[in-house]
Amino acid sequence: MDVASDPRIGLMRLLWWQEAIDKIFSNKLIEHPVAQALASVLHDHRISKIWLRRSVEARINDAKRDVTDIPKTVGELEQYAEDTISTIFYSTLQAGGIKSTVADHAASHIGKASGLLLLLKSLPYHANRNCHFRYIPIKVAEKHGLLVNEGGQLAVQIDSREGLRDAVFEMASVANSHLQKARELAGTVPAEARPVLLPAVPTQVILDTLNRVQFDVFDPKLTRGVLGVPPLWFQLKLKWHSWRGKY
């Protein structure tokens, strides 16, 4: 959606992929190089249609929402993160032939944590583009004095920079809770599944960077390097966790 010149064009592309996934699983030929490569991977690794379909549909539903259509609770954003990110982890585990309820459970938590934190990091971008903080839920915004009524329409605005930091902190705390729950499962996650769960590392990097800037999403430090840390340090963290078989 963000690379399309017109939101309607972005939505059309998502709808095209929804149809493409249906065609792939119906063994129909698609004259598109990425779709053909995807079809080959899906065939070779027998990945379920449900995960890809759910990921695309979640993005379509989000694209159809008006910028003033704000989620009511953090739970709605957790579900969006589950549908768009956790599903990719499920597909990757399945592609590796890894059948583990514990690994799926950890993947669910990491996907939710990652999704929430990426939405927080993107708040300035969406605010500059749409003049709205559409990914701060109504209940959180109201709690921290950010909810206003614009002609009968609820909107989230920054009347208080401190209020915004408090709202971001509350949502980041939910993400941190998911990350901790995923790591509590580490001892029972199969060794072959742990590389799939390495996205927990960049998720932790975002969380740590937000903490360093006191959860001010407008702090320019968040946009430096890779998720707010030097690229070499980021690579070393990934290598260290991978070498130790941890996430």
Measured between alpha carbons, how far is 189 from 103 in angstroms, rounded to an integer? Answer: 5
Find the length of the chain.
247
The pLDDT score that the predictor gives to residue 157 is: 76
The pLDDT score that the predictor gives to residue 134 is: 80
**Cβ contact 133:125 at 8 Å:** no
The pLDDT score that the predictor gives to residue 133 is: 76
**Which residues touch 170 (CB under 8 Å, ≥6 apart)?**
74, 140, 143, 144
The pLDDT score that the predictor gives to residue 177 is: 98
Query: Could you tell me the two tokens for 97?
Result: 């032939």
Q: Where in the chain is the domain with CATH 1.10.600.10?
A: 66-244
The pLDDT score that the predictor gives to residue 153 is: 74
- In angstroms, what CA-CA distances link 95 with 29, 37, 51, 199, 246? 22, 14, 12, 17, 20
The pLDDT score that the predictor gives to residue 4 is: 77
Furthest-apart CA atoms within the chain: distance in Å: 56
The pLDDT score that the predictor gives to residue 196 is: 97
Q: What percent of the chain is predicted at pLDDT more than 70?
A: 98
Pinpoint the alpha helices (H) of the chain: 7-25, 33-45, 49-64, 74-81, 87-95, 101-121, 123-130, 138-143, 161-184, 200-212, 231-244
Query: Could you tell me the two tokens for 156?
Result: 């989230």
CATH code reported for the domain at 66-244: 1.10.600.10
Query: Could you tell me the two tokens for 187?
Result: 């001892």
Side-chain-side CA neighbours of residue 219 (13 Å):
19
Short-list 132, 128, 162, CA closest to 148: 132
Tell me the per-residue pLDDT of 97-120, one tens digit each, with 9 for 90 and over.
999 999 999 999 999 999 999 999
Show the low-confidence residues of the chain (pLDDT under 70): 67, 130-132, 159
